[in-house]
């Protein structure tokens, strides 16, 4: 009988510790990442700041984040200067100069296209989360669906009204690596969860599942006017055709 209070007391202490750990661990990791990014930017920018303009010269301790502020101001200023005719002419001249360099032009062109796609409001980034049967039938993998674009791949592998769509299948728990696949539109089961919820599901290896949303037709969590690209899993045409074909003829 004397062991019961001791056991319950240890259980409460363990629960308190786990609760405190759940609260403190995300804060500590976030603070560490933010502090590391600030220190990394400062180490790159501060050496180029003249000593008379740096507060570290007049203070007995370094000011963290000053290099980051200078970098943000400089990037904004460069963007402002590039927006006018003179700035565009200078940028165009620099791009033509880089275009004559065999190795550099490929790297610069690829990086520029990637950043324009990621940062531009008009870019067709991943807008929906879907499911694809991979690596075998009956096993479903989470994918991020790109917008429909006419490419050489679509032209070579045209499927008569069922276009190929580029999807990115991330690896858990690191969503920055994965596989680029072209899948038939009818083979993709679209989900209503947002891209952020899909990323959380990948990073947590399925432990952090998003809340089940209504059956509204949505794109990235926002209601839209129109029908979803393909039906739900219950009425999936590919599964229906396979089921019908597997039934014996009477």
From the list 140, 135, 243, 154, the residue with the least C-alpha distance to 191 is: 140
Query: How many whole angstroms separate alpha carbon 207 and alpha carbon 33?
Result: 22
- Please report the pLDDT score of residue 51 as a whole number: 87
Tokens in use for 20?
């405190």
- Please report the pLDDT score of residue 29 as a whole number: 92
The pTM for the full model equals 0.54
Tokens in use for 131?
């499911």
pLDDT in tens, 89-122: 888 888 888 888 888 888 888 888 777 766 665 5
C-beta neighbour count of 86 within 10 angstroms = 9
Tokens in use for 250?
């009477």
Delimit the domains of the chain by residue range: 11-99, 128-230
From the number of C-beta atoms within 10 Å of its C-beta (0-12, 13-18, 19+), residue 143 rates as buried
- Please report the pLDDT score of residue 196 as a whole number: 86
- Please report the pLDDT score of residue 32 as a whole number: 93
SS3 of 121, please? Answer: coil
Alpha carbon 136 to its chain's center:
25
- Please report the pLDDT score of residue 207 as a whole number: 82
Q: Which residues contact 114 (CB under 8 A, 6 or more apart)?
A: none
- Ranges in the chain, pLDDT < 70: 1-7, 117-125, 147-148, 159, 213-250
- Please report the pLDDT score of residue 117 as a whole number: 65
């Amino acid at each position: 009988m004397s062991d019961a209070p001791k056991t319950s007391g240890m259980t409460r202490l363990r629960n308190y510790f786990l609760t405190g750990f759940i609260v403190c661990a995300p804060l500590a990791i976030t603070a560490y990442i933010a502090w590391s990014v600030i220190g990394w930017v400062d180490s790159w920018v501060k050496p180029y700041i003249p000593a008379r303009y740096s507060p570290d010269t007049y203070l007995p301790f370094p000011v963290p984040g000053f290099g980051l502020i200078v970098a943000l101001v400089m990037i904004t200023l460069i963007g402002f200067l590039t927006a006018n005719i003179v700035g565009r002419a200078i940028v165009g001249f620099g791009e033509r100069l880089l275009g004559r360099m065999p190795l550099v032009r490929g790297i610069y062109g690829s990086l520029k296209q990637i950043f324009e796609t990621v940062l531009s409001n008009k870019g067709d980034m991943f807008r929906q989360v879907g499911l694809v049967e991979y690596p075998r039938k009956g096993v479903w993998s989470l994918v991020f669906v790109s917008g429909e674009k006419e490419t050489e791949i679509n032209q070579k592998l045209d499927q008569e009204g069922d276009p190929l769509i580029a999807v990115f299948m991330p690896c858990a728990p690191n969503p920055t690596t994965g596989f680029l696949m072209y899948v038939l539109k009818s083979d993709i089961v679209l989900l209503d969860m947002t891209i952020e919820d899909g990323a959380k599901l990948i990073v947590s290896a399925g432990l952090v599942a998003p809340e089940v949303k209504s059956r509204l037709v949505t794109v990235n969590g926002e209601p839209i006017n129109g029908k979803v690209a393909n039906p739900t899993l219950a009425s999936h045409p590919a599964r229906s055709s396979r089921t019908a074909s597997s039934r014996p003829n009477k």
